[in-house]
């Protein structure tokens, strides 16, 4: 059994840990509120841009359609963009995204497809590199991006377009964690190339014009040539903002649980310490009384 000093030291250590987890919880709560506001503010813009593209796409079909909309006509080479957090202490939010991407990779490989991976966030690199060391073509560390802006998504979008134009990818899919609420973040797969214009979740669904007709100048194809690369950046930025909001929400929940568990452990250790201390006092009294009686 541990000595009283060792037990006191352990109680003190757990109390110090509890202070750290409580502080992290409060920081995550403060940053999470701002991150949630940013993610929710970006959603209408991303959805509206996708809706405009969907409306334009109805008039552009056949050989004249932009390649980012029509694709290459093949489905052999897949590029998976896996976006997660850059730091830990946030539960399973990053591992959930990696797991969803991993399952898709296994499905594609089983179907004989060629898969390449683009990692966004440090928490995606190690597990994917361990399983698919030859598939990763680029990694992006977002930890230095204190405030996510459209420029934050520029390098990622540029690398995706480079891979697509070089013939390294026929289909590009983005994996990220969509923020739902404080206790729920949903691993999500969103196809970026070819652009999906009638998604089941409403992202990219063509708007109901109620009989109205838009006239575009220049023509729809010319507008899409400019709008589709911009939409790629917008959708990536929206995913990064969703990731950030989900990370802080998950971290706040994880640190709250850790603080509660530390409190329970402190209570248990304190009871054990008191019992041991009482037993030691009782033993010393018995020895004193026994020695007095012997005299």
Domains of the chain in start order, with CATH, are 44-252 (3.40.1380.10)
| pLDDT score, position 175 | 93
Q: In what order do the strands lie in the sheet with 136-140?
A: 136-140, 114-120, 77-83, 171-181, 184-193
Tell me the C-alpha distance between 125 and 88, whole Å.
13
Q: Determine the distance from the C-alpha atom of residue 181 to the mean position of all C-alpha atoms in its chain, rounded to a whole number.
A: 14
More confident residue, 128 or 223: 128
**Antiparallel, parallel or unpaired: β 171-181 and 184-193:** antiparallel
Distances (CA, A) of 42 to 45, 242, 250: 6, 9, 20
| pLDDT score, position 202 | 46
Give the residue-averaged pLDDT of 253-276: 89
Mean pLDDT for the chain overall = 82
Instruction: Identify the CA nearest to 199 among candidates 44, 40, 51.
Output: 51
Joined tokens for residue 179:
């923020």
Confidence of residue 292 (pLDDT cuts 50, 70, 90): confident
More confident residue, 290 or 78: 78
Instruction: Identify the CA nearest to 77 among candidates 206, 164, 182.
Output: 164
The residues pairing with 120 across neighbouring beta strands, listed in sequence order, are 83, 140
Confidence of residue 64 (pLDDT cuts 50, 70, 90): low
Distances (CA, A) of 262 to 6, 18, 24: 17, 6, 14
Give the residue-averaged pLDDT of 134-141: 88
Q: Check: CB of residue 269 under 8 Å from CB of residue 12.
A: no
More confident residue, 184 or 219: 184
Q: Determine the distance from the C-alpha atom of residue 99 to the mean position of all C-alpha atoms in its chain, rounded to a whole number.
A: 12
| pLDDT score, position 214 | 62
């Amino acid at each position: 059994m541990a000595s009283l000093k060792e037990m006191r030291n352990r109680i003190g250590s757990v109390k110090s840990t509890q202070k750290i987890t409580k502080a992290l919880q409060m920081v995550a709560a403060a940053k999470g509120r701002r991150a949630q506001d940013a993610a929710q503010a970006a959603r209408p813009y991303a959805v509206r841009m996708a809706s405009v593209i969907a409306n334009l796409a109805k008039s552009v079909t056949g050989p004249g359609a932009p390649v980012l909309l029509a694709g290459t006509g093949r489905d052999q080479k897949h590029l998976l963009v896996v976006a997660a957090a850059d730091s830990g202490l946030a539960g399973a939010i990053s591992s959930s995204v990696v797991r969803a991407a991993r399952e898709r990779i296994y499905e594609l490989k089983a179907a004989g497809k060629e898969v390449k991976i683009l990692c966004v966030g440090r928490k995606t690199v190690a597990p994917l590199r361990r399983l698919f060391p030859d598939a990763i073509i680029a990694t992006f560390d977002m930890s230095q991006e204190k405030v996510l802006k459209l420029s934050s998504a520029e390098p990622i979008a540029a690398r995706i377009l480079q891979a697509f134009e070089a013939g390294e990818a026929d289909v590009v899919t983005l994996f990220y964690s969509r923020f739902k609420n404080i206790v729920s973040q949903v691993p999500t797969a969103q196809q970026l190339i070819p652009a999906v214009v009638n998604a089941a979740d409403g992202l990219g669904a063509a708007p109901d014009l109620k009989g109205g007709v838009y006239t575009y100048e220049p023509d729809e194809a010319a507008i899409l040539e400019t709008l589709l690369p911009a939409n790629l950046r917008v959708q990536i930025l929206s995913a990064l903002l969703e990731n950030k909001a989900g990370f802080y929400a998950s971290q706040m929940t994880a640190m709250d649980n850790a603080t509660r568990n530390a409190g329970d452990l402190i209570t248990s250790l304190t009871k054990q310490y008191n019992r041991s201390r009482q037993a030691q006092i009782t033993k010393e009294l018995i020895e004193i009384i026994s020695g007095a009686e012997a005299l």
